[in-house]
Structures are given as C-alpha cells and as structure tokens.
C-alpha cells in the first residue's frame, strides 16, 4: 500500500518552540507543571509528563511541582500571569508569537475605541486567553453565522474583527459580511495562522489527487485544527481521524492502494511516522 504524506503537516513553528522549551528545561534537570495541555495532543501530554512536566488544571496545582508553571502555546490572559506571580511560581512561557501579537492587537484596538469581534470558538484556550480579562460589552465571540445575526449590534459603530489563529478564512467570510451589514466602520486584523493554512492547503492537494483512495488525519481529540483538517478531507475522500497508530482502522484500509496522510499542528512527528510504517506494512 502506498502512502503519500501531505507536503506540509504536523507541528507548526509555535508548537515546535513550545516543545523545545519544555525539553530544554527538562534537560537542565528542572521539573514543573503545564497549565492545560501544552498542545492539544495526548501523546505529547504523556511525553511531557514523562519528562517531569505533567499537565495541571490550576495554578495552585503547580505548587506541588517545584513551583514552576508552563504556559502553553495558546497563551493565557494577563490575570493568569499575575496569578502565577502572586503565588510566587516560576514560569516558562511558551506562548506562540502569533498569539502574543493578537493579544497586543486587541489591547491596541480597545484603546482606539473598537468593539472586538472574535471569530472563533468560545471554549478554545486561545480565545479564553484573549477574552478572560476583557470588560463585558467590549467584545463578542462568534462561531456560527446565526450568532452574528442574533447579536445586538445597536450602538456599535467601530468593529475590529480578529480571527482565532486556527480557523479557516473561507468559512468565516459570510460572518465578516454579516458584521459589515450591521455596523459602521469594520476593520479586519488578519490573524489566521499561516501554519494552519499551509497544512490545509497541502491536504487539499492530496484530496484533489484522483489516485488517492482515502485520507488519514492524525491528531489529538481536543485539537480543533486537526478536526478542521478532517472536515476538509471528508468533503472529498473517505477520511479517518485517529489519535495514534493504535486507532488506525486497519480493516477499512485493507484493499486500498494509496492513502494520503495529514496531521494537525500539534501532532508530533513520531506519531505520524508510526502510522506511515503501519500502513506501509499492510
């Protein structure tokens, strides 16, 4: 069985940096705790725990881990940083540069009198980081188009649209038009991450290849950009979304001749390599 890897897949630059920073700290003999998954991937989470950096849910939990906390690539709200300082925790900040730029963009836009319209998922850690400390009434979060239509835009005359880094711009173009039709001045901060887009574009190339029978997308269950890859692939080919090689649907793949592979921005190379080897052995 032939395997074709997407030209671009897996770890993005931000996640590579996060991974490296934690590994470097572990290499120096340090231990600590990671506030929420360092990336949305179960294999990476287990590997980090093995290195002495388990995942915890609260800052207080970090006290039991040498009093050191790691902020993930998704970033955190300023109040979380202050909370860590107040508890006397040492920090390792792996916030992706793109996410930091968006925090700055939001702060600047609010100071300039804009209402912030975040196009993204309310429960995504990145979005939680952007909005946790904002005053109610200064921002809105919109994922479904109906949410834009149902929102009360009365009195909002200047809007800055900010995208969660990992969403698909095409899907949200109607949201932008809907906001334009309901308010006055609308400006767009182009904050979609190129890494996610590159993975999506490379996957579309595989999907357009008529010789490929099915697509396997590898990534963590909580990784929204991985799910987005699977959603794109499903429109073209039979698609299997798996966390690791253990979930590979071997029986469904038997008899096929060519399989395309992509992986989310938080999927480590070793998970991809294991899947490739297993399929090639079929």
For ligand SF4, the binding residues (CB under 6 A) are 12-15, 73, 96, 98-99, 165-166, 193, 195-196, 265
76 versus 195: smaller Cβ distance to ligand SF4? 195
Q: What is the CA radius of gyration of the chain?
A: 20
Closest contact distance (angstroms) between CB of 223 and ligand SF4 is 10
Q: Read out DSSP for the chain?
A: -EEEE-SS-S--HHHHHHHHHHHHHHHTT---EEES-SSS-HHHHHHHHHTT--EESSTGGGGGTTTEEEE-TT---HHHHHHHHHTT-EEEE---HHHHHHHHHHHHHHHTTPEEEEES-TT-HHHHHHHTTSPTTSEEEE-SHHHHHHS--TT--EEEEEE-TTS-HHHHHHHHHHHHHHSSEEEEE----HHHHHHHHHHHHHHT-TT--EEEEE--TT-HHHHHHHHHHHTTS-EEEESSGGG--HHHHTT--EEEEEE-TT--HHHHHHHHHHHHT-
Distance CA 115, CA 117 (A): 7
193 versus 259: smaller Cβ distance to ligand SF4? 193
Which residue has the CB atom at the shortest distance from ligand SF4?
14
Length of the chain: 282
166 versus 253: smaller Cβ distance to ligand SF4? 166
Closest contact distance (angstroms) between CB of 224 and ligand SF4 is 10
Given the residues 45, 126, 178, 228, the one annotated as active site:
126
126 carries an active-site annotation: yes
Closest contact distance (angstroms) between CB of 242 and ligand SF4 is 20
11 versus 115: smaller Cβ distance to ligand SF4? 11
Closest contact distance (angstroms) between CB of 95 and ligand SF4 is 9
15 versus 179: smaller Cβ distance to ligand SF4? 15
Closest contact distance (angstroms) between CB of 132 and ligand SF4 is 18
Tokens coding 214: 């099915």
Residues annotated as part of the active site: 126
């Amino acid at each position: 069985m032939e395997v074709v890897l997407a030209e671009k897949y897996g770890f993005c630059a931000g996640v590579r940096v996060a991974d490296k920073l934690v590994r470097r700290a572990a290499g120096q003999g340090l231990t600590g705790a990671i506030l929420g998954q360092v990336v949305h991937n179960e294999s990476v989470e287990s590997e980090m725990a093995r290195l002495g950096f388990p995942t915890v849910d609260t800052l207080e939990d970090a006290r039991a881990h040498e009093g050191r906390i790691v902020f993930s690539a998704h970033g955190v709200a300023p109040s979380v940083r202050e909370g860590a300082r107040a508890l006397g925790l040492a920090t390792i900040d792996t916030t992706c540069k793109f996410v930091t730029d968006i925090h700055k963009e939001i702060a600047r836009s609010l100071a300039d009198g804009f209402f912030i319209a975040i196009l993204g998922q309310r429960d995504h850690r990145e979005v939680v980081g952007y909005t946790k400390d904002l005053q109610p009434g200064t921002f809105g979060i919109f994922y479904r188009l109906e949410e834009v239509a149902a929102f009360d835009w009365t009195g909002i005359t200047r809007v800055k649209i900010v995208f969660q880094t990992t969403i698909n711009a095409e899907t949200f173009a109607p949201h932008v038009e809907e906001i334009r039709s309901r308010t006055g001045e609308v400006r767009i901060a182009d904050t979609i991450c190129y890494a996610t887009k590159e993975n999506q574009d490379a996957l579309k190339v595989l999907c357009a290849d008529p010789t490929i029978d099915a697509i396997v997308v590898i990534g963590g269950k909580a990784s929204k950009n991985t799910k987005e890859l699977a959603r794109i692939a499903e429109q073209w080919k039979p698609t299997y979304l798996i966390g690791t090689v253990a979930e590979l649907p071997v029986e469904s793949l038997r008899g096929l001749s060519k399989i395309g592979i992509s992986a989310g921005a938080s999927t480590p190379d070793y998970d991809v390599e294991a899947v490739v080897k297993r399929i090639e052995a079929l």
